């Protein structure tokens, strides 16, 4: 029977406790949210929603075409200039998602005959970029510049190292300065995904590469998402103008994809301007993460010290992680749940996201619920 094999896979997933289901969220959810990636609490900010509404009224519900045909509005240009300026890079290119931005950066900068050195903890979108690229990928030990060095040493020809700046699973930061140094020794480029760093790390939220002194470097390319701290949707690649021009001409997820919707573009632009005006939001998100970590570890939970706004708490098994998250939800707290295959090391976790707008009372309540529902 056509697709019969799907049932076998579903049964295997069920037995392993790995079934995933969708839960549509009501507009007025009563849950305390420690699951979303709205790190700065901007998704519902009136300036951000008005930025979306105004852009939709002016430019329409959709971009109407691919970026090279009709899908580039003046608003896209404004967002690209302001994003590049904020993060300290020469140029930026906006994509319909961070996923598409990562596929673009890795495939366009990892051509046939090149070596792509990829951290073992990288996000799925970077991994898929490596899979699609014509170059050869070598996966190296997590957050180890020497492993990158060793891989680059074996190769003659163009090469890039690819890494998240803040890893999605444990919220730990990559050793960016060390990675850049390793790449420079071999004339390789460095591509880093700052999805979890933008808006949280660096002066006023300018991101992890800015914090590491790599902003504007001619051998560093940064990808970001507009869907986390900027409370919108979409992605971007930032870097030297010649790299951005190359992406316009060579990146298939740019060329063959409809431009980012005007509403998302307008929302991201409004959020970016807000962040410039209120830089303290970035520091507050980091402080909330630190506070969550300190209180959870004081209560005996195994939580990884957060380098940005992601706080990861170990769970005994995939089934218990799912039950723990469900019990939190039952007690009014939304938390994320990571389990295989999303976690390369097979360890299941609760994943909490610190938001700049969480109050001390909400932090206290979250820690209490997590403790009371512990498996
Ligand atoms: C590290 C990382 N990179 C890329 C993405 C993809 O971004 P987007 O959701 O905008 O496609 C995500 C999450 O969504 C992420 O966590």
Residue 366: CATH number of its domain: 3.90.1150.10
Residue 16 has pLDDT above 90, yes or no: no
Residue 104 within a domain: yes
Look at residue 51 in the predicted model and tell me its pLDDT. 98
User: Alpha-carbon distance 230 to 262, whole Å?
Assistant: 15
Residue 218 has pLDDT above 80, yes or no: yes
Q: How far is the CA of 153 from the centre of ligand 1 (A)?
A: 30
**Range with lowest mean pLDDT among 98-112, 206-220, 291-305, 330-344:** 330-344
User: Alpha-carbon distance 108 to 249, whole Å?
Assistant: 9
* Sequence-separated (6 or more) residues with CB below 8 Å from residue 374: 301, 324
Look at residue 267 in the predicted model and tell me its pLDDT. 98
Model confidence at 99, in pLDDT bands (50, 70, 90)? very high
Residue 166 within a domain: yes
Model confidence at 135, in pLDDT bands (50, 70, 90)? very high
Model confidence at 18, in pLDDT bands (50, 70, 90)? confident
Q: pLDDT per residue over 141-200, tens digit each? A: 999 999 999 999 989 999 999 999 999 889 999 999 999 999 999 999 999 999 999 999
Q: Are residues 208 and 134 in the same domain?
A: yes
In percent, the amount of the chain with pLDDT more than 70 equals: 100
Contact status, residue 179 vs residue 190, Cβ threshold 8 Å = yes
Measured from the CB, is residue 235 less than 6 Å from ligand 1? yes
Residue 5 within a domain: no
Specify the residue with its C-alpha closest to ligand 1, atom 16.
Answer: 168
Atom of ligand 1 nearest to the CA of 99: 11
**Which candidate, 317, 351, 319, places its Cα nearest to that of 333?**
351
Q: How far is the CA of 374 from the centre of ligand 1 (A)?
A: 29
Asked which of 277, 311, 334 is the last residue of a domain, the reply is 277
Specify the number of domains making up the chain.
2
Asked which of 277, 294, 326 is the last residue of a domain, the reply is 277
Helix (H, G, I), strand (E, B) or coil at 69: coil
**Cα–Cα separations (whole angstroms), residue 290 to 16, 283, 286, 334:** 33, 11, 6, 19
* CATH (domain of 132): 3.40.640.10
Contact status, residue 370 vs residue 337, Cβ threshold 8 Å = no
Mean confidence (pLDDT) of the chain: 96
Measured from the CB, is residue 195 less than 6 Å from ligand 1? yes
Residue 360 within a domain: yes
Pocket test for ligand 1, best of 99, 126, 130, 171 (most atoms within 8 A of CB): 99
In percent, the amount of the chain with pLDDT more than 90 equals: 92
Residue 17 has pLDDT above 80, yes or no: no
Residue 214 has pLDDT above 90, yes or no: yes
Q: Are residues 199 and 288 in the same domain?
A: no
Q: Are residues 57 and 136 in the same domain?
A: yes
Residue 239 has pLDDT above 80, yes or no: yes
Look at residue 146 in the predicted model and tell me its pLDDT. 98
Contact status, residue 202 vs residue 157, Cβ threshold 8 Å = no
**Range with lowest mean pLDDT among 18-22, 85-89, 95-99:** 18-22
Model confidence at 318, in pLDDT bands (50, 70, 90)? confident
Residue 8 within a domain: no
Q: pLDDT per residue over 249-286, tens digit each? A: 999 999 999 999 999 999 999 999 999 999 999 999 99
Measured from the CB, is residue 225 less than 6 Å from ligand 1? yes
Backbone angles phi, psi at 80, to 5 degrees: -65, -45
Measured from the CB, is residue 164 less than 6 Å from ligand 1? yes
Look at residue 357 in the predicted model and tell me its pLDDT. 96
Helix (H, G, I), strand (E, B) or coil at 338: strand
pTM for the structure as a whole: 0.96
Asked which of 237, 253, 277 is the last residue of a domain, the reply is 277
Look at residue 340 in the predicted model and tell me its pLDDT. 82
Measured from the CB, is residue 114 less than 6 Å from ligand 1? no
- Domain residues for the domain of 79 are 46-277
Residue 2 has pLDDT above 80, yes or no: yes
Q: Are residues 55 and 115 in the same domain?
A: yes
């Amino acid at each position: 029977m056509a697709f019969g094999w799907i049932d076998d896979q579903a049964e295997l997933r069920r037995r392993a406790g790995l079934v995933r289901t969708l839960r549509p969220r009501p507009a007025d959810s009563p849950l305390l949210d420690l699951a979303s990636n709205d790190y700065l609490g901007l998704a519902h900010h009136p300036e951000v929603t008005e930025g979306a509404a105004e852009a939709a009224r002016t430019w329409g519900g959709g971009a109407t075409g691919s970026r090279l045909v009709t899908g580039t509005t003046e608003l896209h240009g404004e967002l690209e200039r302001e994003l590049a300026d904020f993060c300290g890079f020469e140029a930026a290119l906006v994509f319909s998602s961070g996923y598409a931005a990562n596929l673009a950066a890795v495939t366009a900068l990892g051509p046939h005959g090149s070596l792509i050195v990829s951290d073992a903890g990288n996000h799925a979108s970077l991994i898929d970029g490596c899979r699609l690229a014509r170059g050869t990928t070598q996966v190296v030990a997590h957050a180890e510049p020497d492993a990158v060095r060793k891989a680059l040493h074996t190769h003659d020809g163009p090469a890039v190292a690819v890494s998240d700046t803040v890893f999605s699973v444990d919220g730990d930061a990559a050793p960016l300065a060390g990675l850049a140094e390793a790449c420079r020794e071999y004339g390789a480029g460095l591509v880093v995904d700052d999805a979890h760093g933008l808006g949280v790390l660096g002066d006023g939220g300018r991101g992890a590469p800015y914090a590491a002194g790599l902003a504007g470097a001619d051998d560093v390319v940064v990808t970001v998402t507009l869907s986390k701290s900027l409370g919108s949707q979409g992605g971007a690649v930032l870097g030297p103008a010649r790299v951005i021009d190359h992406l316009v001409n060579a990146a298939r997820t740019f060329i063959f994809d409809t431009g980012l919707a005007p509403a998302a573009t307008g929302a991201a632009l409004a959020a970016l301007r807000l962040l410039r005006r209120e830089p303290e939001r970035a520091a507050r998100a980091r402080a909330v993460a630190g506070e969550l970590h300190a209180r959870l570890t004081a209560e005996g939970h195994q939580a990884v010290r957060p380098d940005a706004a992601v706080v990861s708490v170990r769970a005994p098994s995939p089934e218990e992680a799912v039950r723990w998250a469900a019990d939190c939800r039952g007690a009014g707290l939304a938390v994320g749940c990571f389990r295989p295959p999303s976690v390369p090391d097979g360890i299941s976790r609760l994943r909490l996201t610190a938001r700049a707008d969480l109050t001390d009372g909400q932090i206290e309540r979250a820690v209490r619920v997590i403790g009371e529902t512990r498996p």
